[in-house]
Amino acid sequence: MLTAATARVRGAEAARGEVVFVGSGLLVGLDAVGVDFTGRAFPVMLTYATARFLIVDAFARRAAATCVTSPCHGPWKTRSDTR
């Protein structure tokens, strides 16, 4: 449900991150049902880091795009702010 809400608010880029995050959670959950394999920590951390990157990137791009099209009140500067 959070994935769908994020996709609706922040777009497909954030939704991809949320889907990867669900995959990371499923890898973590394998241990709870007794499924384990050597080196499981690597794919867990890889998918987790990838998911976080995709979600943060989607939010940052959306904020930067908003700043270019309207007055910016944050750390992002538009061309008109620098004149």
69-81 residue pLDDT tens:
555 555 555 555 5
Tell me the three state secondary structure of residue 23.
helix
Please state the pTM of the whole predicted model.
0.64
Question: What pLDDT does residue 78 have?
Answer: 52
Show the DSSP H helices in the chain as ranges.
2-10, 12-29, 41-69
Question: What pLDDT does residue 48 have?
Answer: 93
Instruction: List the chain residues with pLDDT less than 50.
Output: 83
Distance CA 10, CA 7 (A): 5
Residues sharing a CB contact under 8 Å with residue 30, sequence separation 6 or more, in sequence order: 36, 40
